[in-house]
Structure 1
Amino acid sequence: MTFDAALDGTLMLSDHSTIDEAVAQAGRYEDHGFERVSMGEVTGWNIVPVLTAIGRETGIGISNDVFSPPSRSPAMLAQTALTLHEASDGDYRMGLGPSSPALVERWHSGEFEPALRRTRETIDIVRAVYEGGKVSYDGDVYELGGMGYDRQVPDDPPAIDLATLGPKAVEMTGRFADGWVPQLFTADGLRDRLEDLERGADLGDRSVDDVRVAPLVRTFAHEDGDHARSMARQMVSFLVGAYGPFYGNSVAEQGYPEAVEEIRAAWEEKDTAAMAAALPDEALEALAAAGTPEEVREHYRKLAAIDGVDAVRCAFVAGMSQDDKETTMATLAEL
């Protein structure tokens, strides 16, 4: 089975004590043939300076996972995107997503709902800024007008990718966004959602081929496959049980409702060992690429073979050493 997709990489900024270290890791991805590198923004660094440094000091494309509208106004998101586009010589893709109630309400002091409507209106406003001139918008969530971006807008403004999970959200992605970055999907679950993406593209009178699909996969290649799976199990179970409700809901809908319920119950007791134990081997194998180098490459090949997938985004597992990361990047470079 061949691998006919691009490789994207993801930085775990919590693993890096300085911005220079993060830039160096992005350079390692580039050296291994990865096309793009992205990173998340939760409650740590503001990632815009980090992305700027990577854009200026390397040749790899840059993305983010993800900016939530309550963290920045739509106009500021447009300004940020255009600035990062300039910093990367036109190779930036902006990642947007509804985020989670905990982050929006407890960190940004915003209101989570109406999450999808807010995301849709944010896309509208960003695109209005891209068009140049004064921006006027009267929506259900946002209302602004009378001012405009005061620099020249490039002919090829940054693409907008969405990180969405549910049917309606993915349909919205197909209708309005330039890319989709799903996470924690089995191959069958991804195929089902790609039908929602195609329906959205049809509603928007667009081609789904114009939407760059890049599933993000927790990845750990190690000669001791059991060691890699053990560490990945801890990470995946934490995402399912503790990282907001949406990942868990999605995994449950993909065929693992009992496991999700058990993982969430263990999280209530903050029993991370029990969370990991509750994740079935079958689910781990389907949701993550963890094991021997060949097992990891096979997982990537299967995802790339799904009609509609354009790239696979490697995300490391918490606790991996730098040697582990080097082995994993080298493993994927052989695809």
Structure 2
Amino acid sequence: MKVGISAGYWSGSPPRGIAERVAEAESQGVNSLWTAETYGSDALTPLAWWGSQTSSLQLGTSICQMSARTPTALAMAAQTIDHLSGGRMIVGIGASGPQVVEGWYGQPYPRPLERTREYIEIMRAVWARDKPVTFNGRHYQLPLAGGTGLGKPLKSIVHPLRPDIPVYLGAEGPKNVALAAEIADGWTPLWFSPKSDDFYRAALAEGFARAGARRTASDFEIANTCWLIEDNDVEKAAAKLKPVVALYAGGMGAKGANFHNDVFTRMGWGEACAEIQRLYLDGRSDLAAQAVPTEMVEDVALVGPADKICEDIVTRWKPTCLTTMILAGWPRPETRDRILEAIRS
């Protein structure tokens, strides 16, 4: 299993110390750096900024929201970073949810799987650069249907460094996970739990079995962002993450339309999720965080003393389908080698 490091997305302002952490991670042989976006900072600018200070890290977005950019715009950005980095770009994309897509970007959300398929097909056509790009889909048309009539098919002026940049799909539900296995080069889960490994392997197998599937299980990458919080007291470590879990399970999306809530519910936390969401949507985020069971945090994160974290990695996480563990959080200096070795060995 490979190790990645997450710079995430920003909250109120740019996070401190990321440049130093990235430099240290690269010196420790970490494989990849990942950024994200919601409705504040974007994923591409920090990736280019911090990535420019590295020489070996793969540079991935986990994720770029599709509705934020047209497929040609993201294809342009990806091939630009790929050139500047010497071929280290990984394009992680995702559909996000209706709150963000319709509320922030003012774009329609329905039929996200179909939209994803079209989006990736157009990006690959840009990078292939074998002819001017044309596309006539439900969601995207190149040239635009019903426009001025002056649009013409175009071919990228830039010759991509790689004509086939890796695309990873951010997905949580079984249909979207199967789509990732069918058309993408990798999958970036969110709130993956080792206890759900069989569920996800079945969804992936469905995608790999489809006619024309791009990859097989042997050459498909699965890069999961996993929180890591060290503390000799497990409860204290988990408490630091409970507000984040409550935000996603309770506040990311409306009642009945929260994909993160669905993920935790499938793990067996349905009763807790209902209470967390009720409190969060009532404006009681503090009580929602308190309603998150410590065991629910332990299902999806590495929390506690280093000995426990290493044991969890070896006994729970290593046997799963994951190929890369992206750490959101960085081990202490005195335990760093042990934890990183537990993941890699």
1:36 equivalenced with 2:19 (yes/no): no
The answer to whether the Cα contact below 8 Å between 1:252 and 1:260 also exists between their aligned partners in 2 is yes
Q: Quick one: distance in 1 between partners of 2:309 and 2:246?
A: 19
Aligned residue for 2:242, secondary structure, equals helix
Distance (whole Å) between structure 1 residues aligned to residue 336 and residue 111 of structure 2: 39
Conserved in 2, the CA contact under 8 Å of 1:8 and 1:35? Answer: yes
Pair 51,168 (structure 1): closer, same or farther in 2 beyond 3 Å? same
Deviation, structure 1 residue 327: 6.8
Task: Give distance in 2, aligned partners of 1:30 and 1:141.
Answer: 40
Aligned residue in 2 for 1:80: 77
TM-score of the two chains, using structure 2 as the length reference: 0.87
Describe the superposition over 1:108-149 as per-residue Cα deviations: whole angstroms up to 9, x where unpaired: 111111212111110110111121121111111111041111
- Tell me the TM-score normalized by structure 1: 0.89
In the aligned structure 2, how far is the partner of 1:140 from the partner of 1:109? 18
- Tell me what 1:178 maps to: 185
Give distance in 1, aligned partners of 2:101 and 2:332. Answer: 31
Closer/same/farther in 2, CA of residues 328 and 87 from structure 1, 3 Å limit:
farther
Deviations 1:149-193 (CA, angstroms, capped at 9, x unpaired): 112123453200111011110110000000111111221213311
Is structure 2 residue 56 aligned with structure 1 residue 47?
A: no
Q: Does the C-alpha gap of structure 1 residues 44 and 20 become closer, same or farther in structure 2, counting only changes over 3 Å?
A: same
Question: Contact 2:194–2:320 at 8 Å: present in 1 too?
Answer: no
Offset at 1:218? 1.8
Give identity over the alignment, percent: 23
1:201 aligned residue (199, 205, 208): 208
Which residue, out of 290, 293, 314, partners 1:280?
Answer: 293
SS at match of 2:109: coil
Kindly tell me: are residues 160 and 200 of structure 1, through their superposed partners in 2, closer, same or farther at Cα, counting changes over 3 Å?
same
Q: Is the 8 A contact 2:9 2:38 kept in 1?
A: no
Say if 2:240 is the partner of 1:231: yes
Is 2:269 aligned against 1:256? yes
**Aligned partners of 1:75, 1:108: CA distance in 2, in Å?**
17
Correspondence 1:213 to 2:222: yes
User: Could you report, residue by residue, the CA deviation over 1:294-325 in whole angstroms, capped at 9, with x for unpaired residues?
Assistant: 22222332454335321111123xxxxx9x76
Structure 1 contact 55–84 (Cα < 8 Å) conserved: no
Check 1:129–1:224 CA distance in 2 against 1; reply closer, same or farther (3 A cut).
same
Determine if the alignment matches structure 1 residue 188 to structure 2 residue 186.
no
Q: Secondary structure at the match of 2:250?
A: helix
1:142 counterpart (140, 143, 146): 140
Q: Is the CA contact 1:82–1:157 (under 8 Å) kept in the aligned structure 2?
A: no
Q: How many residues align?
A: 325
Mapping 1:15-30, distance limit 5 Å: 21-30=17-26
Partner AA of 1:130 in structure 2? W
Matches of 1:71 and 1:208, distance apart in 2: 30
In 2, the alpha carbon distance for the partners of 1:328 and 1:227 equals 18
Q: Is the 8 A contact 2:230 2:306 kept in 1?
A: yes
Distance 1:34 1:48 in 2: 20
Give runs of ≥4 in structure 1 deviating > 4 Å.
Answer: 15-21, 324-331
1:241 aligns with 2:250: yes
Q: Which residue in 2 is equivalent to 1:319? A: none
Matched, 1:313 2:322: no
Q: Which runs of 5+ in 1 are unaligned?
A: 317-321
Residue in 2 that maps onto 1:67:
64
Hey, which of these two has a bigger chunk of helix by percent? 1
RMSD: 2.3
Report if the CA contact (8 A) 2:172-2:189 is conserved. Answer: yes
Asked whether the equivalents of residues 191 and 306 of structure 1 are also in contact (C-alpha less than 8 Å), the reply is no
Query: For each residue in 1:6-33, what CA deviation from the matched residue of structure 2 results, as whole angstroms up to 9, or x when unmatched?
Result: 0111014537956995433321221333
Structure 2 residues without counterparts, runs of 5 or longer: 144-152
Corresponding residue of 2:5: 9
User: C-alpha separation between the residues in 1 aligned to 2:220 and 2:96?
Assistant: 21
